[in-house]
């Protein structure tokens, strides 16, 4: 399933990093893995989500709003200034060009700053940041692992985990495809980011993930998940449910009567009028199913309190800290300061 929001965010642009030989490497790993069967490996799925959060974290939320508003605001202002004495295209076209180059400059500058972190994210998991080749089994020379696919060189010490990618040979059912598609759509709505105690950007765990992990968890892990779920269940639910119901209601009350009128025309045009209704319905349902408006800080805090990793919901309270007093989550490689030695209690 393609993640189109990133394509919109990065039209034809590539983020670069430098490999251990000091060469500039274009990070094409996300483009290579996106939609590939490898993405169904939970490890790769989490990695892609983490990378998407990292890219999004480079763009503050106001940038999108400012970009969206600047075009109508600027053009209306100019139109008022010229008092209709000049045709609209004469000032609208140069204005658009200037604004586009300013935003394009901002985007490029911000993308340069996240390049090294984005590259590291994949290299740490033993995936070539250049081309997405799994470096599992590639033997290092003088502490450097060279990608057999694209020739990028990565320091052996930077690779923190090296594992084969788990591929399923079974042809996915249409139902599974649809479910994955809907999940990707929802993930675009509520993608957020936070930083762990080592300053690494991660994607905070969503409610759906908490429930999915709970289905197979046992004993204390299950208890911790139960505590976290009941604590977070209603966080931010008022704007989410209100927003979701608003769009579902809009689809039904506006689009259905409209469709009933047009349906009598009995043409292909009739089906086209269904499209906006379906989009509104989909958006409303996705919003209801999403984690939008659930405060990230609260999610992280609650999960830390019950001794779970805020990124993957696995237990971190039973891990021994390393020399720098941080524990590294073995599942997602995030680092956390150890909380006090006292047993962790749900809030
Ligand atoms: Zn490569
Ligand atoms: Zn984790």
Ligand 1 centroid to Cα of residue 108, in Å, is 23
Name the closest ligand to CA 328: 2
Nearest-ligand number for the alpha carbon of 130:
1
Which residues are close to ligand 1, an ion, with C-beta < 5 A?
128, 130-131, 133, 147, 149-150, 152
**Ligand index nearest the alpha carbon of residue 332:** 2
Question: Tens of pLDDT along the chain (347 residues)?
Answer: 344 444 444 545 688 899 999 999 999 888 888 877 777 788 888 898 899 888 888 877 777 788 778 878 888 888 888 877 778 788 888 888 888 888 888 888 888 888 999 999 999 999 999 988 999 989 999 999 999 999 999 999 999 888 888 877 667 678 877 888 888 888 888 888 899 998 888 999 999 889 999 998 888 899 999 999 999 999 988 999 999 999 999 888 877 777 777 767 666 666 677 777 888 899 999 999 998 889 999 999 999 999 999 999 999 888 877 777 888 888 888 989 876 444 444 44
For residue 6, the CA-to-ligand 2 centroid distance in Å is 24
Secondary structure of the chain in HEC code, one letter for each residue: CCCHHHHHHCCCCCCEEECCCCCEEECCHHHHHCCCHHHHCHHHHHHHHHHHHHHHHCCCHHHHHHHHHHHHHHHHHHHHHHCCCCCHHHHHHHHHHHHHHHHHHHHHHHHHHHHHHHHHHHHHCCECCCCCCECCCCCCECCEEECCCCCCEEEHHHCCCCCCCCCCCCCCCHHHHHHHHHHHHHHHHCCCCEECCCCCEECCCCHHHHHHHHHHCCHHHHHHHHHHHHHHCCCCHHHHHHHHHHHHHHHHHHHHHHHHHHHHHCCHHHHHHHHHHHHHHHHHHHHHHCCCCCCHHHHHHHHHHCCECCCCCCECCCCCCCCCCEEECCCCCCEEECCCCCCCCCC
**With a threshold of 0.85, does the pTM exceed it?**
no
Give 57 Cα–ligand 1 centroid separation in angstroms: 25
Closest listed ligand to the CA of 152: 1
């Amino acid at each position: 399933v393609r993640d189109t929001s990133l394509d919109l965010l990065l039209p034809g642009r590539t983020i670069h990093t430098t490999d251990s030989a000091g060469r500039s490497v274009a990070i094409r790993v996300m483009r290579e893995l996106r939609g590939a069967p490898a993405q169904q490996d939970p490890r790769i799925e989490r990695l892609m989500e983490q990378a998407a959060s990292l890219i999004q974290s480079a763009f503050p939320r106001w940038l999108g709003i400012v970009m969206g508003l600047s075009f109508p605001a600027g053009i209306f202002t100019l139109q008022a200034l010229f008092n209709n004495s000049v045709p609209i295209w004469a000032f609208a076209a140069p204005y658009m060009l200037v604004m586009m180059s300013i935003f394009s400059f901002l985007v490029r500058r911000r993308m340069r700053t996240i390049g090294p972190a984005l590259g590291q994210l994949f290299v740490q998991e033993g995936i070539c940041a250049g081309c997405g080749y799994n470096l599992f089994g590639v033997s290092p020379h003088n502490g450097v692992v060279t990608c057999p696919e694209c020739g990028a060189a990565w320091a052996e010490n930077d690779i923190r985990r090296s594992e084969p990618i788990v591929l399923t040979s079974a042809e996915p059912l249409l139902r599974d495809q649809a479910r994955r598609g809907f999940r990707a759509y929802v993930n675009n709505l509520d993608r957020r980011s936070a930083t762990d105690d080592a300053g690494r950007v991660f994607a905070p765990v969503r409610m759906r993930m908490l429930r999915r992990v709970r289905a197979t968890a046992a004993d204390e892990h299950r208890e911790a998940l139960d505590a976290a779920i009941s604590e977070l269940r209603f966080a931010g639910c008022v704007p989410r449910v209100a927003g979701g119901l608003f769009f579902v209601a809009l689809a039904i009350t506006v689009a259905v009567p409209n469709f009933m009128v047009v349906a009598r025309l009995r043409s292909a045009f009739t089906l086209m009028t269904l499209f906006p209704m379906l989009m509104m319905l989909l958006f409303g349902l996705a919003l209801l199913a999403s984690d939008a408006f659930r405060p990230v800080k609260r999610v992280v805090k609650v999960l830390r309190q019950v001794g779970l990793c805020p990124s993957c919901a696995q237990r971190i309270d039973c891990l021994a800290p390393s020399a720098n007093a941080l524990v590294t989550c073995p599942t997602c490689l995030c680092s956390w300061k150890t909380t006090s030695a006292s047993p962790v209690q749900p809030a």
